[in-house]
Structure 1
Amino acid sequence: MTVKKAVYIGLGCLGVGLGAVGAVVPLLPAFPFLMLAAFCFAKSSERLHTWFIGTKLYKNNLESFVKGKGMTVKTKLRIIAIVTATMAFGFCMMSRVPVGRMILAVVWIFHLIYFAFGIKTIRAPRENS
């Protein structure tokens, strides 16, 4: 195994771990960590990639986005809420840095615009009871 492949596998495992924690902990986003895992496993190991895309964690958080279908309203709102809370904390901590506050505000606005208009909204799949 090459060093590059080992690094990708290590980063993929870290992404899965943090993504799993993020799926449960409200302020830790799962999405970017799971994207990291998907990317790293795709670059390193077909076996790990196949395993990962078969997990419920992947299917619930990434599958529709990766396939280009979009995200559900619930997923979009969860991501927006987490980013807003995180950026609000940074905004409050930058009370003496007005330029930093302006940059955060602009990034936040573009984030909202991207999630509202850049990512397609899909209906949540119905569960059979």
Structure 2
Amino acid sequence: MKIKQALFVTAGCLCLALGTIGVFLPILPTVPFYLLTVFFFAHSSERLHTWFLGTKLYEKHLASFVRGKGMTLQTKISIMILVTLLMGFGFFMMAKKGLWLPCSILAVIWLAHVYCFAFRIKTISAKSKEENHDE
């Protein structure tokens, strides 16, 4: 196994573990970690990639988003809470040091995230997500 492939498999497994923990702990976002899992597995092992795409975890948390159908409100909110907490911490630490230009840039990036999640990514109901899964 090549070093790059081994690193991607390791990163994919780590993201899978963090995403799965996020299913049970609302502070960890499931979807971004599962997106990273798909990316790392796709670039390291066709077998792992195919396996992950067939799991219930992928179908429940990511399949509708990947198919372009959107995310549930709960998923959107959990992602935005984590993004807000992480960016808020960075903002606070930079503001404490008087770094106002980076604070402004971070604020613009945060607003772009809010805009995308509110207006660009379609919100689907959990019920329609289940119906789309049956297709």
TM-score by length of 1: 0.84
After TM superposition, list the pairs within 5 Å mapping 1:110-129 onto structure 2: 110-125=112-127
Any idea what SS the aligned residue of 1:27 has?
coil
* Code of the aligned partner of 2:89: F
Query: Relative to structure 2, which stretch is displaced further, 15-24 or 101-110?
Result: 15-24
What corresponds to 1:107 in structure 2? 109
Unaligned runs of 5+ in 1: none
Query: Relative to structure 2, which stretch is displaced further, 65-74 or 36-45?
Result: 36-45
* Code of the aligned partner of 2:6: A
* Code of the aligned partner of 2:69: K
What corresponds to 1:40 in structure 2? 40
User: What is the CA–CA distance in structure 1 between the aligned matches of 2:73 and 2:33, rounded to whole Å?
Assistant: 20
What corresponds to 1:31 in structure 2? 31
Q: By how many angstroms is 1:79 displaced?
A: 1.0
**1:67-104, CA deviations, whole angstroms, 9 ceiling, x for partnerless residues?**
11111111111111221122222222222221122111
**1:29-51, CA deviations, whole angstroms, 9 ceiling, x for partnerless residues?**
22222111111222232321222
User: What is the CA–CA distance in structure 1 between the aligned matches of 2:27 and 2:61, rounded to whole Å?
Assistant: 16
Q: By how many angstroms is 1:57 displaced?
A: 2.1
Q: By how many angstroms is 1:25 displaced?
A: 2.7
TM-score by length of 2: 0.81
Instruction: State how many pairs are aligned.
Output: 127
Question: Superposition RMSD on alpha carbons, in Å?
Answer: 1.9
Q: By how many angstroms is 1:22 displaced?
A: 2.6
